[in-house]
Amino acid sequence: MATLLRKIGLIRLHGRDTEDPKHPHRGGGGGPHSASLRAKGGAKSGLKPPGGPPPPAAHPGPAAAPAAPPASSASPGPRKAKAKRAGEPGPSSQPAPGVAGGLGGPGAPGARPQHCAQVRSRRLMKELQDIARLSDRFISVELVDESLFDWNVKLHQVDQDSVLWQDMKETNTEFILLNLTFPDNFPFSPPFMRVLSPRLENGYVLDGGAICMELLTPRGWSSAYTVEAVMRQFAASLVKGQGRICRKAGKSKKSFSRKEAEATFKSLVKTHEKYGWVTPPVSDG
């Protein structure tokens, strides 16, 4: 009998140890091991185990480094960011005032003529100041009707060994008077220059007082030329071309005209563009 009771006790103990924790309805709720498992499962799922105390709070410690975002949610790289910025209108894409294409810039309507007028005026003012400071009184300038762009220039000196200088002494001619008009785009285009008085022959002075000089043409002109330099070149050309003061009766009293000078100058430029700056055939005048 005692042996039988011991066997029954062993069977009960064995059944208690081998009870399935997943099925608490078997054998009285599963014991402490099953309760522990249920607590862990509830903590993971965010649910409180029924009837049990709340899970203990986690012990505060150093913050863990944030996990790297997945590749699919990564921020766009520099290339994509640049492409996005390039497509968006920004301040740099708008023309700035005062530059080409902007408000008030040289590319704006009416800005270029105004800019050329300012350049011409500044250049001519400087030319007048430089001529006034000449120590040898080679030339002097008078403005026509107070216009800065229309000058009467007096040439006081030529080579004193020339026949032209002797003519000036014999006729009491103190100077050779010329007229210079400056175009809108001066100094990038040459002035129109002609002789007013006295009436000259030869010396590259033609009908109407037109002057045959390559540097007075668009092809031969340079913006670096000054009025003083042009006048010195003209004085040398007069002497080289054997210029003389006309003393023929009647003809010497006839003044040069601007209209005739302009027509003559256009004709000689056309001829020299055809043959170059050499002596043209007589048939072409």
Structure tokens at 178: 């010329």
- Confidence class for position 6, pLDDT limits 50, 70, 90: low
User: Is 257 within 8 Å of 271 (Cβ atoms)?
Assistant: no
User: Is 34 within 8 Å of 24 (Cβ atoms)?
Assistant: yes
The DSSP secondary-structure symbol of 111 reads H
pLDDT tens across 16-64, in order?
Answer: 544 454 545 444 444 444 445 454 444 444 444 445 555 555 544 444 4
At the top level of CATH, which class does the domain 116-276 belong to?
A: alpha beta
pLDDT tens across 186-203, in order?
Answer: 999 999 999 999 999 999
Nearest to residue 206, comparing CAs of 156, 276, 272, 159?
Answer: 272
pLDDT top residue among 26 and 261: 261
Indicate the pTM of the whole model. Answer: 0.59
User: Is 164 within 8 Å of 244 (Cβ atoms)?
Assistant: yes
Structure tokens at 10: 């062993």
**Candidate from 93-97, 125-129, 200-204, 244-248 with smallest mean pLDDT:** 93-97
Structure tokens at 277: 């700056």
246: annotated active-site residue: no
d(CA 229, CA 217): 15
pLDDT value at residue 285: 41
Which position among 196, 212, 227, 235 bears the catalytic label? 212
Structure tokens at 30: 């599963």
Tokens 């009998």 belong to residue: 1
Structure tokens at 85: 């910025």
